Structure 1
Amino acid sequence: MGGLLILIPIIIVGFFILLSGIFTVKQQTAAIVERFGKFLSIRNSGLHFKIPVFDQIAGRINLKIQQLDVLVETKTKDDVFVRLKISVQFQVVREKIYDAFYKLQDPHDQITSYVFDVVRAEVPKMKLDDVFERKDDIAIAVKEELNDAMIDYGYDIIKTLVTDIDPDVQVKAAMNRINASEREKVAAEYEAEAERIKIVAKARAEAESKRLQGQGIADQRREIARGLEESVDVLNNVGINSQEASALIVVTQHYDTLQSIGEETNTNLILLPNSPQAGSNMLNDMIASFVASNKIGEEMRKQNEAKGIGNTPKTKKKRNPPPSSNTNDDINF
Structure 2
Amino acid sequence: MAFFPFLLIGIALLIAFGAFFTVKQQTAVIVETFGKFSSIRHSGLQFKIPIFQRIAGRVSLKIQQLDVIVETKTLDDVFVRLKVSVQYVVIKEKVYEAFYKLEYPHDQITSYVFDVVRAEVPKMKLDNVFVKKDDIAIAVKAELQDAMIEYGFDIIKTLVTDIDPDSQVKEAMNRINAAERQKTAAQFEGDAQRILIVEKARAEAESKRLQGQGIADQRREIARGLEESVEVLNRVGISSQEASALIVVTQHYDTLQAIGEETNSNLILLPNSPQAGSDMLNNMVASFTASNQMSEAMKQQQIAKDASKNDTK
TM-score normalized by the length of structure 1: 0.81
| Separation in structure 1 between the aligned mates of residue 34 and residue 198 of structure 2, nearest angstrom | 96
Q: Which has the larger radius of gyration?
A: 1
Select which of 30, 46, 52 maps to 2:28: 30
Select which of 277, 280, 292 maps to 1:283: 277
Give the structure with the larger helix fraction.
Answer: 2
**1:299 Cα deviation after fit:** 10
Select which of 145, 148, 155 maps to 2:146: 148
1:72 lines up with 2:70 in the alignment: yes
Aligned to 1:114: 112
SS across alignment from 1:68? strand
Q: Identity over the aligned pairs, expressed in percent?
A: 71
Aligned to 2:220: 222
The count of residues paired between Structure 1 and Structure 2 equals 295
Q: What CA RMSD, in Å, does the superposition of the two structures yield over aligned residues?
A: 2.5
1:89 lines up with 2:87 in the alignment: yes
Q: 1:144 to 1:211 in 2, by over 3 A?
A: same
Q: 1:224 to 1:47 in 2, by over 3 A?
A: same
Q: Report the AA paired with residue 215 of structure 2.
A: I
Aligned to 1:246: 244
For 1:75-120, what per-residue CA distance to the aligned partner results, in whole angstroms no more than 9, with x for missing partners? 0111100000001111111121111001111101110011111111
For 1:284-326, what per-residue CA distance to the aligned partner results, in whole angstroms no more than 9, with x for missing partners? 42355478679979999xx9xxxxxxxxxxxxxxxxxxxxxxx
Aligned to 1:322: none
SS across alignment from 1:20? helix
Gaps of 5+ in 1: 304-333
For 1:222-253, what per-residue CA distance to the aligned partner results, in whole angstroms no more than 9, with x for missing partners? 11011111112222222322232222212221
Q: Is the 8 A contact 1:75 1:82 kept in 2?
A: yes
| Separation in structure 2 between the aligned mates of residue 65 and residue 298 of structure 1, nearest angstrom | 110
1:169 lines up with 2:189 in the alignment: no
Q: 1:104 to 1:291 in 2, by over 3 A?
A: closer
Q: Is the 8 A contact 2:63 2:89 kept in 1?
A: yes
SS across alignment from 2:269? coil
| Separation in structure 2 between the aligned mates of residue 11 and residue 260 of structure 1, nearest angstrom | 137
For 1:129-166, what per-residue CA distance to the aligned partner results, in whole angstroms no more than 9, with x for missing partners? 11111111111111111112111111111111111111
Q: 1:254 to 1:292 in 2, by over 3 A?
A: closer
SS across alignment from 2:49? coil
Q: 1:49 to 1:230 in 2, by over 3 A?
A: same
Q: Report the AA paired with residue 276 of structure 2.
A: M
